[in-house]
Chain A
Amino acid sequence: MQHFTNETIDIQQLPKYEETALTAPASKYWQVMLINLIIFTLLSGGGLAILILIDEEIRANWAIFVGLFALIIIVLFLLYWASFKRRGFALREKDIIYKSGVIAETTTIVPLNRIQHVALNEGMLSRIFKLGTLHVYTAGGSSGEIRIAGVPIEQAKALKEALVQRLEVKTTNESE
C-alpha cells in the first residue's frame, strides 16, 4: 500500500518520453530516399512520355500533364523531406521510442518487456549505403510496431543484439 501512495505523488516526476533526445537516421539515408524518388520519377515519367507519344488528345494538352506531373513530384519531394526530418529513435533503459510522420507527428513507444521479436532487414539500396531497417514486433498488431529505417548497419546490429539479449533473459526467467 505504501507503494501506492508513492506512485500517486510521483506522476509529475516520472521520466518524460517526450523529452528524450532522439537519434536521427543516418544522413546517408536521405540519399537512399532520394534515389527511390528518382527511380519512381523515371518510371512514372517514362509512362507519361509513352502516353503523350501514343494518345493524340494527351499530346495536345501535354503542357498540363507535364505540369501536373512536376507538381506531384515536387510535393512528393517535400513530403519525403518532411518525413526524413521528423524521424528519430531512442533506446531507453526500459523502452524504445520512434518518432515519424509525414503530416501528423507520431511517436510510438514499445516497452522492452512487450517485444515479441526483432528483425533486421537490409534492402538492396540500403546495403550499398551500409544501412539497415530494424523492425520491432509486438503482440499489438502491425499498427503498434516500430520500423526504424536508415540505421547504420553496425549500430543496427548492436541495437538488435541488445534487444534480443533482453528478450532471452526474459524468456529464461519465465521458463524457470
Chain B
Amino acid sequence: MALDFSQPQKQSAAGILISGAYTLQRLIRAIIFPLIILVIKANKSVLIYAGFALLAVLIISIIYGYFYYLKFTFYLNPIKQEFIIDKGVFGRKNLTIPVEKIQQVNINQGFIQKLIGVYSLQIDTAGTDSKEVNIGAISGQTAYALKKHLLNGSEQNAMQSENIAEMIENPMHQQETPFIKIDVSTLFKIGLTSNYGRSVALLIGFGYAVLHNLKELFKVLDRDKGQIENFFASGFTMFSIAILFVALIIILLATNVIRTFIKYFDFQISRHQKSLLISSGLFATKNTLLHPNKVQITEYSQNYLQKKIGLFNMALKQAHAGQQQSDKEVKSGNMEVPGCSPREKNEILQMILSKLPNESTRYKPNFRFMNLPIVFWVIIPLAAYLIFYQYLPEIRSFYSLAIIYVLAVCFAIYISYTKHRIAVSEDFIIKQSGIWDISQEIIEPHKIQSISTSQFPWHKSLDIGHVTLHTAAGNISFSYGNYTEIKTLVNFWLYQVESKDKDWM
C-alpha cells in the first residue's frame, strides 16, 4: 500500500484515546495519596463534588485530546525535502526538520498503545529536543512507511534505508533471524547477579515515598502518635535486624529480577547489513536501530558471580546529540545488552569495532592511587568514630563492626587498585576498572575529542600524573600513572587523531 506523505496527515484516531489516557494516568499518579486521604476523611457531599470535578477533568482532557488530534498534522515536503509537523491547540507550533538532518527514527509501542494497536514514532536529529518530534499514535504500517520515507530522503542514510526497506516488507516479524536472543533463564540469572545499585536506589526512593505518605495518612487520621518512629526505634534488636536484612535481600533480588524482565524481556539483536536492530520489553516494546559507527564507547562488564556462569553485561554508548543534555537523555543514548555469552560478546564487539582487541601494552597505576580513597573512606570515618567513642558510650559495643568495616573497605580499595588498568594497542584503548563489577571500556583512538593531562605539584618528582580522554559519550580516565609514559601515549594518540581524517561519527 502506497502512502502519500506529501499531503498533511493526521494521527490515527485512536490518538484521542491515547492522549486522554495519558492525561488521566498522569493525573492519578499525581494525586493518588491525597485522593486516598480524601476518601477516608471527607464526608459524602465533598466526595461527590470531588467525583464530579474528576469527571470534568477527564472529559476536558478527552476534549483537549480531540482538538489536539484535529490540529496535529504532519507531512513531507518532497521538493524541499523537509518533514513538517503542525501542532498546538491554543498556540500553533510549526516544526520543520530537514530530512538530511534526521539521524534516527524510533518506533515504539507503549503499554496503552499496545492495547489499542498503534505505534509512536520519534525522530532524532542532532541538536533538537527529541520530545518535540514525537507522533503519539499512528498505525504500524504508516509508521514503517514513514520511517522508510524519512530515511530514504537523505542520501547519507541510503545504507540505513535499505535496511529499513527490507524490514518494511515484513514489519512485524524481522526477516533475518536475530543473532542474539536472550532467553528467560539468562534474564533470570542476570536479574539475580547485576545492577544491585539501581534496584537499591529504586527501593529506597519507593520506601521513602511509602513511609512519608503513610505518615501523612496517619496525621490526617489524627492517629499519628509516632507509630512509625516507634516501630523503628523499638524494632532494632540484633535479631530483628538479621530478619530485616534477609527480607531486604529477598525483596532486592525480586525487584531486580522483575525490573530486568520488564526492561529486557524478549531481547533480540538482529543484523541489517551495517546496522543493528535491537528490540526488547515486556509491556512496551522498544525498537532501536543502531549504527556501529555512532557507538563511541563499547563497554562490557562482569562480576564474580557472572564469571562463574559465563555471562557478560554490555553497554554501547552513543554520542549525545546536542550540546547540553539532561542525564536521562544521555542514558537513553546507551544501549544495554543484558547477559551475553563470551561468544555473543565477541560477535557484538566484532560488529561494532570490526575487529577484536588483540594484544596490547598494559599500564598500571602507582600505589599512591590508594591514598585518597583510604583517607576518605577509612581514616576520616574512623576518626569520627573514635571521637564519638569518647562521648557516646552506646556506640562502644559496635567496635567489632568498625573493625569489619575498615578491613572490608581496605580490601575493596586494594581490589580497585589492582583492577585499575589501561591497555593500549594500535587500534584500541581499553580501560579496566571496578571493584565488584569489573568493566572494560573500549574506545578507538579516532573517537577521542580532546585529551587532558594533569599533575599535582607534589607528584612532580615522583613522575605521577593523570590523563582523561574526552569522547562524545563520556570520559575515560587513567589516574596515578607514570607521567612520562602518559605523555608518550598522549603524543601517540594525538598523532593518531590528527594524522588520519577518520570521522568519529
Given A12-B488, A18-B487, A101 contacting B320 (CB threshold 8 A): no
* B62-70, B143-151, B201-209, B448-456 - interface stretch: B448-456
The answer on a CB contact under 8 Å between B449 and A144 is yes
Q: Is B393's CB within 8 Å of the partner chain A?
A: no
Contact digits for B459-491, partner A, Cβ 8 Å, 1 yes 0 no? 000000000101110110000000000011011
Interface of B is mostly: mixed
Q: Among A14, A137, A145, point to the contact of B495 (Cβ < 8 A).
A: A14
Q: Is B438's CB within 8 Å of the partner chain A?
A: no
Q: Is B501's CB within 8 Å of the partner chain A?
A: yes
Contact digits for A136-148, partner B, Cβ 8 Å, 1 yes 0 no? 0111110111100
Complex contacts, A144 vs chain B, CB 8 Å: 449-450, 452, 468, 470, 475
The answer on a CB contact under 8 Å between B498 and A17 is no
Contact digits for A101-125, partner B, Cβ 8 Å, 1 yes 0 no? 1011111111111100000000000
Distance in Å: Cβ of A73 to nearest Cβ of chain B: 23
Given A104-B454, A145-B450, A139 contacting B472 (CB threshold 8 A): yes
The answer on a CB contact under 8 Å between A137 and B455 is no
Q: Is B457's CB within 8 Å of the partner chain A?
A: yes
Complex Cα–Cα for A95 and B498 (A): 8
Distance in Å: Cβ of B491 to nearest Cβ of chain A: 5
Complex contacts, B475 vs chain A, CB 8 Å: 140-141, 143-144
The answer on a CB contact under 8 Å between B470 and A138 is yes
A residues touching B (Cβ–Cβ < 8 Å)?
Answer: 4, 7-8, 11-12, 14-18, 94-95, 101, 103-114, 137-141, 143-146
The answer on a CB contact under 8 Å between A106 and B452 is yes
Q: Is B319's CB within 8 Å of the partner chain A?
A: yes
Q: Is B323's CB within 8 Å of the partner chain A?
A: yes
Given A106-B454, A108-B450, A114-B450, A139 contacting B488 (CB threshold 8 A): no
Q: What are 29 A-B residue pairs whose CB atoms fall within 8 Å in the complex? A: A4-B426, A7-B426, A11-B491, A11-B492, A16-B487, A16-B491, A17-B494, A103-B456, A104-B454, A105-B456, A105-B457, A106-B452, A107-B453, A108-B451, A109-B451, A111-B448, A111-B497, A113-B497, A114-B448, A114-B497, A138-B450, A138-B470, A139-B449, A139-B472, A139-B504, A140-B475, A143-B475, A144-B449, A144-B475
Interface of A is mostly: mixed
Distance in Å: Cβ of A101 to nearest Cβ of chain B: 7
Q: Among A103, A109, A114, A140, point to the contact of B457 (Cβ < 8 A).
A: A103
* Contacts beyond the supplied A12-B488, A95-B494, A103-B456: 5 A-B pairs with Cβ under 8 Å: A103-B457, A107-B453, A113-B501, A140-B471, A140-B475
Q: Among A4, A111, A141, A145, point to the contact of B320 (Cβ < 8 A).
A: A141
The answer on a CB contact under 8 Å between B494 and A111 is yes
Complex contacts, B497 vs chain A, CB 8 Å: 111, 113-114
Complex Cα–Cα for A114 and B474 (A): 15
Complex Cα–Cα for A133 and B455 (A): 25
Distance in Å: Cβ of A167 to nearest Cβ of chain B: 14
Distance in Å: Cβ of A92 to nearest Cβ of chain B: 9
Complex Cα–Cα for A12 and B495 (A): 12
Distance in Å: Cβ of A149 to nearest Cβ of chain B: 17
Distance in Å: Cβ of B474 to nearest Cβ of chain A: 8
Q: Which of A4, A18, A101 has the most CB of B within 10 A?
A: A18
Q: Which of A94, A112, A137 has the most CB of B within 10 A?
A: A94
